[in-house]
Amino acid sequence: MKYKRIMVAVDRSNISNLALKEAIQLTKDLGSILRVIHVVDENIVQFSDGFVDVNNLWAAYKEEAQEYMQKLNRDIKEEYIQFETHLVVLKTLEGHLPEKIIKEAEEWKADLLVIGTHGRRGFSRFFLGSIAEKLLRIATLPILLIRGNSNKRV
């Protein structure tokens, strides 16, 4: 299958950087279009201890995310591929991160989703859960997992 529309979800981690590199290479190899998304979760700032101004915290969080996306935009331009970056806001009561990522992929009509994974096993996966595992369970499109600890596809 030739993937024409590749989407990668990034979160500023080293693992998502590996996934981004793989997505860029696939985009080059296949002559595809790449969409890079970064999700900011409004729920993170909703649970403050009352001593923090939630509006200021949210504004700072979102501004930091926008700066990150601008940097990615500059870096990816050097790869000479067709791409776009998109900052996605996950609103309070709108669902969870995996569902939001799949919704974005469906709306953009992606035919491949690339994400990084820690490749946790056993107790750490049981206790921490796995975004990648949840994405795999609800996916409506092929997903390429890039394992962070060994830079191997899963």
* Averaged confidence pLDDT in the chain: 87
pLDDT tens-digit readout, 73-87: 999 999 999 999 999
Burial class (CB in 10 A: 0-12, 13-18, 19+), 91: exposed
Instruction: Check pLDDT > 80 for residue 119.
Output: no
**Percent composition of the chain: helix, strand, coil (DSSP 3-state, to 5):** 45, 25, 30
What is the C-alpha to C-alpha distance for residues 125 and 25, in angstroms, rounded to an integer?
29
Structural domain of 130: 5-147
- Tokens standing for residue 84: 């776009």
Asked, for residue 154, whether it belongs to a domain, the answer is: no
Report yes or no: 30 and 2 within 8 Å, Cβ to Cβ: yes
The CATH number assigned to the domain holding 120 equals: 3.40.50.620
What pLDDT was estimated at residue 49? 62
Q: Could you tell me the pTM of the whole model?
A: 0.86
pLDDT tens-digit readout, 59-78: 999 999 999 999 999 999 99
What pLDDT was estimated at residue 19? 96
Asked, for residue 51, whether it belongs to a domain, the answer is: yes
Asked, for residue 153, whether it belongs to a domain, the answer is: no
- Tokens standing for residue 39: 């999700």
Structural domain tally of the chain? Answer: 1
Asked, for residue 152, whether it belongs to a domain, the answer is: no
Burial class (CB in 10 A: 0-12, 13-18, 19+), 50: exposed
What is the C-alpha to C-alpha distance for residues 70 and 11, in angstroms, rounded to an integer?
14
DSSP SS3 for 111:
coil
Instruction: Check pLDDT > 50 for residue 3.
Output: yes
* Rounded CA Rg of the chain: 16
